[in-house]
């Protein structure tokens, strides 16, 4: 294990480890070089000069299930075990802007995440968590503004000023049209809502990361590494153009943009992918948008290990997969990391498996020497060549998107979705033919799988949520809720920022479903072209 001696790290042999290796140790760096210095344009070697030599990445654990009370208990356990950032999973009704008592929510309440219907649920979810010290990421897209405002309202109740809140909302609805499907509104009003969030957070919650532009879900749908970063960065360009068109200066909002990528078991290509993505984004922000603040050019990102590569067969083998995937993310320079639990291909993680996933990150951070030096693969013949190759392939795909009129126009033509599906089919064929080995699935199988008892969600949760909603509606001021929703509809019909009336509606105890219904009534809902 590499260890510290003052500010100098040493190997097991007692030899010093340099914080940075490369030409900088001899003759300085040329900032225009393709590789660049750590923390300098084009950020190939990382967005910060010291990277993990000062402190490790943020260790997030993605969790949320059942009721707000159950999820809160899991969060408090994770914090006690050393988690430095929370990542909240919401159930499908919440993601789609429906209350738990609507017919469409039947059977889905609390299943793939926590059910949040109102500020009352958010208060329970965050109970006992120091919001001024914990960074919280919320995986929510179409209703992202609502969940952010609920978070702010609970902070206010606890005496935490909005300026002290720190976290991220995913808020990337364009990838929903491409790969995931939890959209509500058509693309144009969705982009308008995104711009409103940018403006609101700059004025009200300045430390909040207003969007996490996501390639993870495209990768889970079958995108290659080049497709993942190409389509993610193309979506990022669309968001920046929307904000600029709304009158915002690029350096006023771009420093708060962040990204979300997958990390697969193909370690070398994943490291190359992360390095290439940083380089492309830096160039786009400087050359297309004229960004001057270096932070506007930094591609800061969260990584999650590849859930799609985990198997229900011999699930303990997933511990090895997650370790390799987590290592790839760290060597690629991620800012925060979630490591999947080994049993996630079967059901929701148990307390033990979630703790093991966190311990995996802690082993990488504190028992290996990967945090002792910045960008260990810099100058590697293989990785540098692969970085160039991934960059070239991604840029070619981005040009095709541009030729169609940009990300939204390409989405409307089904381009990204078709490209991803073709790649997914290729992978499936290779796996079925045995050309792509999946340990325990098409090679090294067991004659009989060992029994495993997964975590189950109590079906009574839905009834509990329905009862909570009935109590809420009975106790609140119905006239105040109706008036606040009316103000929200007026803002949606015009050009005013919708987050201010939305916040007041939620403060008056309007539910997530009621707020989304008010917007549906003005903006309509999105129907994909292949649904006809």
Q: What CA dihedral angle connects 215, 216, 220 and 224, to 10 degrees? A: 40
Query: Where on the phi/psi map is residue 43: left (φ > 0), alpha (ψ -120 to 50), or beta?
Result: left
Contact 259, 209 (CB under 8 A): no
Give the pairing of strands 8-10 and 16-17.
antiparallel
Closest CA to 179 of 122, 260, 244, 118: 260
Contact 395, 280 (CB under 8 A): yes
Say whether the peptide bond before residue 42 is cis (omega within 30 degrees of 0).
yes
Could you tell me the pLDDT band of residue 530, with boundaries at 50, 70 and 90? low
Q: What CA dihedral angle connects 203, 205, 209 and 210, to 10 degrees? A: -60
Tokens of 471: 């109590």
**pLDDT per residue as tens digits for the range 355-377:** 999 999 999 999 999 999 999 99
Please give the helix or strand (H or E) that residue 61 lies within, else none: strand 58-63
Question: Using CA atoms, how far apart are residues 115 and 479, in angstroms rounded to an integer?
Answer: 26
Question: Using CA atoms, how far apart are residues 498 and 200, in angstroms rounded to an integer?
Answer: 9
Could you tell me the pLDDT band of residue 32, with boundaries at 50, 70 and 90? very low
**Beta pairing partners, 3:** 10
Query: Where on the phi/psi map is residue 134: left (φ > 0), alpha (ψ -120 to 50), or beta?
Result: beta
The pLDDT value recorded for residue 349 is: 86
User: HSE on the CB side for 327, CA within 13 Å?
Assistant: 18
Question: Using CA atoms, how far apart are residues 88 and 76, in angstroms rounded to an integer?
Answer: 13
Contact 427, 436 (CB under 8 A): yes
The pLDDT value recorded for residue 28 is: 47
| Region 469-497 average pLDDT | 98
| Region 207-212 average pLDDT | 96
End-to-end CA distance of the chain, in Å?
A: 59
Phi and psi torsions of 278, nearest 5° = -60, -40
The pLDDT value recorded for residue 2 is: 43
Please give the helix or strand (H or E) that residue 286 lies within, else none: helix 267-287
**pLDDT per residue as tens digits for the range 409-467:** 999 999 999 999 999 999 999 999 999 999 999 999 998 887 877 767 788 899 999 99
Could you tell me the pLDDT band of residue 8, with boundaries at 50, 70 and 90? confident
- Is the pLDDT at 34 greater than 70? The verdict is no
Sign of CA dihedral 329, 330, 333, 336: positive
- Is the pLDDT at 7 greater than 80? The verdict is no
Could you tell me the pLDDT band of residue 84, with boundaries at 50, 70 and 90? confident
Residue reference for tokens 């017919």: 103
Radius of gyration of the chain (CA): 23
Contact 214, 262 (CB under 8 A): no
Tokens of 509: 């105890």
Contact 209, 169 (CB under 8 A): yes
The pLDDT value recorded for residue 83 is: 81
Locate all alpha helices (DSSP H) within 317-460, ordered by sequence: 318-331, 351-366, 381-403, 407-412, 415-432
- 374 Cα distance to chain centroid: 24
Express as a percent the part of the chain with pLDDT over 90.
Answer: 85
Contact 171, 141 (CB under 8 A): yes
Q: Confirm whether pTM is higher than 0.75.
A: yes
**pLDDT per residue as tens digits for the range 224-254:** 999 999 999 999 999 999 999 999 999 999 9
Question: Using CA atoms, how far apart are residues 195 and 247, in angstroms rounded to an integer?
Answer: 10
Phi and psi torsions of 332, nearest 5° = -85, -5
Going through 331-388 in order, the beta strands assigned E by DSSP cover 336-338
All structural domains of the chain, each given as residue ranges with its CATH number in brackets, are 48-432 (3.20.20.240), 461-531 (no CATH)
């Amino acid at each position: 294990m590499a260890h510290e001696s003052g500010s100098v790290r040493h190997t097991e042999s007692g030899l010093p480890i340099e914080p940075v290796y490369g030409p900088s140790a001899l003759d300085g760096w040329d900032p225009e070089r393709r590789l660049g210095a750590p923390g300098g344009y084009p950020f190939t070697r990382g967005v910060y000069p010291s990277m993990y030599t000062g402190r490790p990445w943020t260790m997030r654990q993605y969790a949320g299930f059942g009721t707000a009370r159950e999820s809160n208990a899991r969060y408090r356990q994770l914090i006690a075990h050393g988690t430095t950032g929370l990542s909240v999973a919401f159930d499908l009704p919440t993601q789609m802007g429906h209350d738990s008592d609507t017919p469409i929510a039947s059977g889905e309440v609390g299943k793939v995440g926590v059910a949040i219907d109102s500020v009352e649920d958010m208060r329970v979810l965050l109970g006992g968590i120091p919001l001024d010290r914990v960074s919280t990421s919320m995986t929510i897209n179409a209703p992202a503004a609502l969940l952010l405002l609920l978070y702010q309202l609970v902070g206010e109740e606890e005496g935490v000023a909005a300026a002290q809140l720190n976290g991220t909302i995913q808020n990337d609805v364009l990838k929903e049209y491409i790969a995931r499907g939890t959209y509500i509104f058509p693309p144009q009003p969705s982009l308008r809502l995104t711009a409103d969030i940018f403006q609101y957070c700059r004025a009200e919650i300045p430390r909040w990361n207003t969007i996490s532009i996501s390639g993870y879900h495209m990768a889970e749908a079958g995108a290659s590494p080049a497709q993942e970063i190409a389509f993610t960065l193309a979506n990022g360009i669309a968001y920046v153009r929307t904000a600029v068109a709304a009158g915002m200066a690029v350096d006023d909002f771009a420093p708060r943009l962040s990204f979300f990528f997958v990390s697969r078991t193909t370690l070398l290509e994943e490291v190359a992918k992360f390095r290439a993505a940083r380089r492309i984004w830096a160039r786009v922000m400087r050359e297309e948008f004229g960004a001057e603040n270096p932070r506007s050019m930094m591609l800061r990102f969260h990584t999650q290990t590849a859930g799609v590569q985990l198997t229900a067969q011999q699930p303990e083998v997933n511990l090895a997969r997650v370790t390799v995937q987590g290592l790839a993310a760290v060597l690629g320079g991620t800012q925060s990391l979630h490591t999947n639990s080994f049993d996630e291909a079967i059901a929701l993680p148990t307390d033990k498996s979630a703790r093991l996933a966190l311990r995996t990150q802690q082993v990488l951070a504190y028992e290996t020497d990967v945090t002792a030096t910045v960008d260990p693969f810099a100058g590697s013949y293989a990785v540098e060549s692969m970085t160039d190759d991934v960059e070239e392939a991604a840029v070619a795909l981005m040009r095709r998107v541009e030729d169609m009129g940009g990300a939204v126009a390409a989405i409307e033509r089904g381009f990204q979705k078709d490209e991803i599906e073709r790649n997914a089919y290729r992978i499936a064929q290779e796996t079925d033919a045995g050309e792509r080995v999946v340990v325990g699935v098409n090679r090294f199988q067991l004659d009989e799988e060992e029994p495993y008892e997964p975590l189950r969600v109590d079906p009574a949760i839905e009834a509990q949520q329905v009862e909570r909603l009935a109590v809420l509606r009975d106790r609140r001021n119905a006239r105040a809720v109706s008036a606040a929703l009316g103000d929200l509809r007026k803002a949606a019909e015009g050009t005013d920022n919708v987050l201010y009336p939305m916040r007041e509606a939620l403060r008056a105890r309007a539910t997530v479903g009621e707020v989304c219904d008010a917007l549906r009534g003005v903006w309509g809902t999105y129907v994909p072209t292949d649904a006809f």
